[in-house]
């Protein structure tokens, strides 16, 4: 995914909360898998905030494996502006939320609901219900595909994450996107050739696609959705009545871009 200057690798927002701690743990694991740097970021605009920020960053730093390359950033900005700015040089931005909470219930949940529309890279939303157990890490990656999801960024991150983890990929299509699943979906065309190590299982969501996504997420270690399209899975997942339903699994929200599987 390193198509821009991505020297910051994986950026994770750190605020000292339990959700933030889980986010750091997941981000460090992903950075090790990808062999990319990890950037711990804490936004601070006042002297007292910076003093606390140093403690928060130091505490987070102590939890990261020595085999992961780590750097710390303390931008003088609000969390949204800080992470959006850092995202321009990142492969992923990771933010934590309290388990069972909807966006808006904590600083980083309110950040995530805004950041997914303004970041320059995919955003990972992680609740503190997430566990990195061997059983969880053996589960497949789940990608939600609607009628407009023929997008390079969405497919690339889904296949790359599945390949890096050595697991399969479940592709959940909305009814409009499937058109029958006897053959490989146009959204997946080229990607199965590029990632021959990833076994793909296609599923058609014939009714209530969001509930289908929630149900399939129960057996996944990671969910990948995009922000684009006719109501897109991301908009539905973070919408009224649904937000906070999927809390046990990280959700990667990617912005749509032209497909480039053959590149």
At residue 205, the pLDDT reads: 82
At residue 102, the pLDDT reads: 44
At residue 131, the pLDDT reads: 82
Supply 9's token pair: 């690798």
One digit per residue, pLDDT tens: the chain, 263 residues? Answer: 545 567 999 999 999 988 899 999 999 999 999 999 999 999 999 999 999 999 999 999 999 999 999 999 999 999 999 999 999 999 999 998 765 444 444 444 677 778 888 899 999 998 877 888 899 999 999 998 876 555 577 888 999 999 999 999 999 987 655 555 555 677 787 899 999 999 999 998 878 887 888 889 989 999 998 876 545 566 566 554 444 556 678 888 876 554 445 44
Q: How far apart (Å, rounded) are the C-alpha atoms in residues 90 and 104?
A: 24
pTM reported for the whole predicted model? 0.84
Structural domains of the chain in order of their starting residue, each with its CATH number: 10-127 (3.40.50.620), 134-254 (3.40.50.12370)
How many angstroms from the chain centroid is the CA of residue 159? 13
Strand 251-254 and strand 123-127: pairing?
Answer: antiparallel
At residue 18, the pLDDT reads: 87
Nearest to 163 by CA among 132, 135, 186, 141: 141
At residue 57, the pLDDT reads: 98
Strands (E), the chain: 10-13, 38-41, 70-73, 92-97, 123-127, 141-145, 169-174, 200-205, 222-226, 251-254
Sequence-distant (≥ 6) Cβ neighbours of residue 136 within 8 angstroms: 221
């Amino acid at each position: 995914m390193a198509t821009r200057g991505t020297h910051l690798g994986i950026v994770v927002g750190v605020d000292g909360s339990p959700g933030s701690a889980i986010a750091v743990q997941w981000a460090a694991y992903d950075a090790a898998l990808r062999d990319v740097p990890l950037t711990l970021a804490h936004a601070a605009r006042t002297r007292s905030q910076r003093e606390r920020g140093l403690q928060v960053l130091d505490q987070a730093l102590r939890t990261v494996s020595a085999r992961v390359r780590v750097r710390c950033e303390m931008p003088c900005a609000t969390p949204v502006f800080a992470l959006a700015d850092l995202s321009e040089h990142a492969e992923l931005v990771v933010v934590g939320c309290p388990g069972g909470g909807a966006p808006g219930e904590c600083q980083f949940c309110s950040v995530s609901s805004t950041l997914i529309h303004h970041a320059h890279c995919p955003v990972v939303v992680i609740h503190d219900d997430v566990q990195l157990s061997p059983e969880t890490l053996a589960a497949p990656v789940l990608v939600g595909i609607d009628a407009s999801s023929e997008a390079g960024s969405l497919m690339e991150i889904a296949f790359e994450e599945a390949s890096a983890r050595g697991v399969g990929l479940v592709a959940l299509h909305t009814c409009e996107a499937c058109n029958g699943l006897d053959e490989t979906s146009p959204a997946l065309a080229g990607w199965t050739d590029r990632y021959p190590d990833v076994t793909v299982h296609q599923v058609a969501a014939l009714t209530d696609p969001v509930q289908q996504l929630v149900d399939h997420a129960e057996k996944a270690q990671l969910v990948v959705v995009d922000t684009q399209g006719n109501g897109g899975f991301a908009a539905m997942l973070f919408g009224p009545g649904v937000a906070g339903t999927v809390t046990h699994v990280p959700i990667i929200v990617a912005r749509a871009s032209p497909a480039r599987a053959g590149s």
